[in-house]
């Protein structure tokens, strides 16, 4: 398949870095959360010019059906405040407008020429958010025709692509799994949120449209020690071998529950994108009762639609920088424990960033959160 000539800025195959911009309902929308589908980025410049909006719409219309969110999505970078005030640029089916007041998006997309003028045009990204094609604004019909003939996102590489994860069985024995499940059932769980940076502080957010899970803390020092001993003996050596990384610290001891009664899930996210979580290196999903529920699989959208399930007592280990989601549980209850691992160098980052933790932050509440692994 031939590619169009590349304009100044990006070349095919380069990854586009993430950035934050304001979207409807989210003042700090993370661009990299749209990975896992073809993404057409449109940088239109101001739509004040008579007829410009209609011309762009006519370029999109013949193939607008591709923007079904699953196959492809459109991101429009809004750069003219008047477009928002006058309603010239709005969200639509499969289309999200990001308002780039701080020019963070323009910098990430290399949409500024050396003289400071805006580079308008179309930027097509693959499901890993790597550049597939670039077109000037007047060639939008060609850009859309190219997108319309692309394969499903999971086939974008032409060969199977697997997430760089490690699956390790037999980390917790059945009796220990049952002990942790019993702790949750006796103690109960509280609503589990997620972290977001707001006004320079990392705070906990509760949003049941993004995450439905309940957690209970493991506060007994002896149980924490037993937990840690099993990771050290059975999991850490495999992480050293697979990732050439030596985890020496653990954050949080919890038992989490995704309940089918609430369709428990956690939408696509990354685990280290805030000031208060920047120290996290590897996430561990250690299932306690695989086979006793349905759904709840792990998925890594950047690497295709395939899912990953650890056996009961086993773990899936992956970099905290990977986009991942927990699919909804459709029957029963899924119990898991979900520690984060890091090393001494990352511990210094955590210590330095402690000042950014907002009051009532879930991270700050974790007992023994910085104990050696």
pLDDT value for 361: 55
CA distances to 11, 70, 103, 109 from 8, rounded to whole Å, are: 8, 30, 18, 11
Which CATH architecture group holds 20-155?
3-Layer(aba) Sandwich (3.40)
pLDDT value for 196: 85
Element of type H or E holding 340: strand 340-342
* Length reported for the chain: 373
Phi and psi (nearest 5°) for 27?
-70, -15
CB atoms near residue 7 (< 10 Å) = 16
Burial of residue 46 (CB within 10 Å: 0-12, 13-18, 19+) is middle
Q: What is the CATH number of domain 166-365?
A: 2.60.120.620
Indicate the SS3 state at residue 335: strand
pLDDT value for 117: 86
CB atoms near residue 238 (< 10 Å) = 15
pLDDT value for 39: 98
Tokens describing residue 95: 């289309």
pLDDT value for 359: 59
Long-range residue pairs from 182-191, CB within 8 A, at least 24 positions apart, any chain: 183/216, 183/218, 183/223, 183/255, 184/216, 184/255, 184/257, 184/335, 187/216, 188/214, 188/216, 189/214, 189/215, 189/216, 189/255, 189/256, 189/257, 190/214, 190/215, 190/216
pLDDT, tens digit (0-9, with 9 covering 90-100), for 176-189 = 999 999 999 999 99
**CATH 3.40.30.10 segments of the chain:** 20-155
pLDDT < 70: residue spans in the chain: 1-8, 359-373
pLDDT, tens digit (0-9, with 9 covering 90-100), for 284-316 = 999 999 999 999 999 999 999 999 999 999 999
Tokens describing residue 281: 């290196």
Cβ contacts of 244 within 8 Å, gap of 6 or more: none
b/e burial code for range 121-157 (CB count within 10 A of at least 16 → b): bbbbbbbbbbbbbbbebebbbebbebbeebeebbebe
pLDDT value for 10: 87
CA–CA dist 165, 322 (Å, integer): 10
The DSSP call for residue 117 is: -
**CATH 2.60.120.620 segments of the chain:** 166-365
CB atoms near residue 325 (< 10 Å) = 19
Q: pTM of the predicted model, to two decimals? A: 0.87
């Amino acid at each position: 398949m031939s590619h169009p000539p590349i304009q100044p800025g990006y070349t095919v195959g380069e990854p586009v870095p993430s950035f934050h911009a304001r979207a409807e309902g989210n003042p700090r929308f993370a661009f990299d959360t749209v990975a896992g589908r073809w993404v057409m980025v449109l940088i239109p410049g101001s739509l004040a010019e008579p007829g410009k909006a209609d011309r762009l719409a006519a370029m999109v219309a013949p193939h607008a059906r591709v923007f079904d969110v699953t196959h492809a999505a459109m991101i429009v970078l809004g750069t003219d405040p008047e477009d928002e005030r006058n309603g010239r640029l709005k969200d639509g089916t499969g289309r999200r407008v990001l308002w780039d007041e701080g020019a963070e998006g323009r910098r990430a997309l290399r949409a500024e020429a050396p003289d400071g003028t805006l580079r308008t045009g179309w930027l097509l990204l693959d499901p890993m958010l790597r550049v597939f094609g670039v077109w000037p604004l007047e060639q939008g019909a060609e850009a859309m025709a190219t997108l319309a003939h692309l394969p499903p996102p999971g086939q974008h590489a032409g060969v199977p692509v697997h997430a760089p994860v490690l699956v390790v069985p037999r980390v917790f024995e059945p009796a220990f799994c049952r002990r942790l499940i019993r702790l949750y059932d006796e103690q109960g769980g509280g609503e589990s949120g997620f972290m977001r940076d707001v006004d320079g502080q990392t705070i906990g957010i509760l949003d049941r449209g993004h995450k439905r899970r309940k957690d209970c803390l493991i506060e007994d020092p002896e149980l924490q020690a037993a937990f840690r001993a099993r990771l050290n003996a059975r999991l850490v050596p495999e992480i050293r071998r697979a990732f050439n990384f030596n985890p020496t610290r653990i954050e949080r001891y919890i038992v989490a529950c995704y309940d089918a009664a609430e369709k428990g899930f956690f939408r696509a996210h990354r685990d280290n994108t805030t000031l208060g979580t920047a120290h996290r290196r590897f996430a561990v999903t250690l299932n306690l009762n695989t086979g006793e529920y349905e759904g709840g699989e792990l998925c890594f959208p950047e690497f295709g639609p395939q899912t990953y399930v650890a056996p009961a007592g086993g773990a899936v280990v992956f970099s905290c920088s990977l986009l991942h989601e927990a699919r909804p549980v459709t029957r029963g209850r899924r119990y898991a424990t979900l520690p984060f691992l890091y090393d001494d160098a990352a511990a210094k980052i955590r210590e330095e960033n402690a000042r950014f933790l907002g009051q009532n932050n879930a991270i700050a509440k974790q007992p023994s959160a910085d104990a050696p692994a």
